[in-house]
Amino acid sequence: MKRLVPLTITFIVGFVLIFSVFLPPAEGLDQTFTLYFDIIAVFAFFLGGGNLMRVHINKLRRQKKDWGFSVVTIAGFLFMLAAGLFKIGNPGDIATAVDTQGSLFKTVFDYVINPLQSTMYSLLAFFVASASYRAFRAKNREATLLLIAAFVILLGRTPFGMMVTGWIPDSFSIFQIPNLAIWIMNSPNLAGQRAIIIGIGLGVISMSLRLILGVERSYLGDDNA
């Protein structure tokens, strides 16, 4: 029951979705299954939210280290949930989009989520700079190649590249840094990325087959019941 049912579900669903490509009458079933998948995805959002609350409520109850910040998480969660589910401040009716301009939900998105998320990722600019100074060394031939390619791209993707090498005549324009950057992207980068894509593609294909045929069962956990 704990293993057979999930393995059967995976097999049937996977099998139908693959064969619907070859069998047009099965296309309807393929769409229906995918629609089920989309609906279940929303429950996964709920699971994520529920789990987050569970973790922070536990932290709060046991007054673990930094429990005060858990209050911030819980309060932020409940506030946003209320703003979204009850469409507080939404200028339209119940059918209007939850993030209509002017609603509390959209306001929190614009003035809280937006600055927080974009600033968090922008911190990486500082860390990339620090890593460039401390770790980016031309220690061997491979690292030197990487470094040269990075330099060409960094220069070539700014107007400075053309300012420095714009004097090179058209007949030898490949040596203008922006053109060299384009060439790197279109040739060696394309070749390397394609090799990676083909490798990953083969991995995905074989893993999909293993999952559908029940060879790969790690997603079921290690419970042998």
Partner 1 sequence: MNRSTYILTAIVVLLFIVSWTLKAVSLSGEVDDNITRGFLITISAFLTLAIFSFLYKDNPFYKFAEHLFVGVSAAFWMCQGFWSTLVGNLFPRLSEGLSNFFMVPYQYSPYNITYWIPVILGLLLLMRLSSKAGWLSRWPLAFIVGTTAGLNFIRYLRSDFVVQVSSTFVPLLGNESHPWTGIGDFFSHLSLSASGQFMMILANWIIFLGVICGLIYFFFSKEHKGVFGFASRIGIWVLMITFGASFGYTVMGRISLLVGRLTFLFRDWLEIIS
Partner 2 sequence: MPNIGVSISLLVIFGGLAWLLIRSISGREVDRRIIFVFIFVAVAAPLLFPITFQEKATSIVRDLFDRIEELPEGSHVLISFDFDPAMAPEVQPMANAISRHCLDKGHRVIFMSLWATGQSLMTTTLTNVILPEFPEKVDGRDYVNIGFKAGNEGVLNVIVSDFKKMFPTNVNGVPLDSMEIFEGIESCADLDFIVALGGGRPGPKEWVLFVGDPADVPIGVGVAAVVAPQLYPYYPQQVIGILGGIKGAAEYESELTHRRERFADMETPGLHMMGPQTLAHLVIMSFIIIGNIAFFRKKRSGSDSR
104 binds partner 2 (CB under 8 A): no
Which residues ranging from 18 to 77 are in contact with partner 1 (CB under 8 A)? Answer: 18, 21, 32-52, 54, 56, 66, 69-70, 72-77
135 binds partner 1 (CB under 8 A): no
2 contacts which partner out of partner 1, partner 2, none, CB within 5 to 8 A by kind?
partner 1
8 A C-beta contact, residue 161 and residue 176: yes
Q: Which of 128, 145, 202, 205 binds partner 2 (CB under 8 A)?
A: 128
Q: Which of 2, 64, 194, 210 binds partner 2 (CB under 8 A)?
A: 194
Q: Does 225 participate in binding partner 1 (rule CB under 8 A)?
A: yes
For tokens 């937006």, name the residue: 114
> How far is residue 7's CA from residue 211's CA, in Å, rounded to a whole number?
9
Burial, 75: exposed, middle or buried (Cβ in 10 Å; 0-12, 13-18, 19+)?
exposed
Rounded to the nearest 5 degrees, what angle is found at the Cα of 188, between the Cα atoms of 147 and 155?
45
Sort 179 into a burial class: Cβ within 10 Å, 0-12 / 13-18 / 19+.
middle
Residue 115 or 163 with smaller CB distance to partner 1: 115
Considering only residues 99 to 128 of the shown chain, the ones binding partner 1 according to CB under 8 A are 99, 105, 107-126, 128
- DSSP letter at 96 equals S
Among 138, 163, 164, 202, binds partner 1 (CB under 8 A): 202
When binding is defined by CB under 8 A, the residue of 88, 98, 104, 162 that contacts partner 1 is 98
Residue 215 lies near partner 1 (rule: CB under 8 A)? no
Binding-residue total with partner 2 (CB under 8 A): 59
Using CB under 8 A as the binding rule, whether residue 133 contacts partner 1 is answered as no
What is the distance between the alpha carbons of residues 57 and 64, in angstroms, rounded to a whole number?
A: 10
Q: In Å, what is the CA distance from 44 to each residue of 21, 87, 130?
A: 27, 22, 38
Q: Please enumerate, as own/partner, the contacts of 44-53 that have beta carbons within 8 Å and a separation of 24 or more.
A: 49/77, 49/81, 52/77, 53/77
Task: Give the amino acid at 178.
Answer: P
Which of partner 1, partner 2, none does 90 bind, CB closer than 5 to 8 A by kind?
none
Q: Is 164 in the site for partner 1 (CB under 8 A)?
A: no
Residue 22 makes contact with partner 2 by CB under 8 A: no
141 part of the interface to partner 2, by CB under 8 A: no
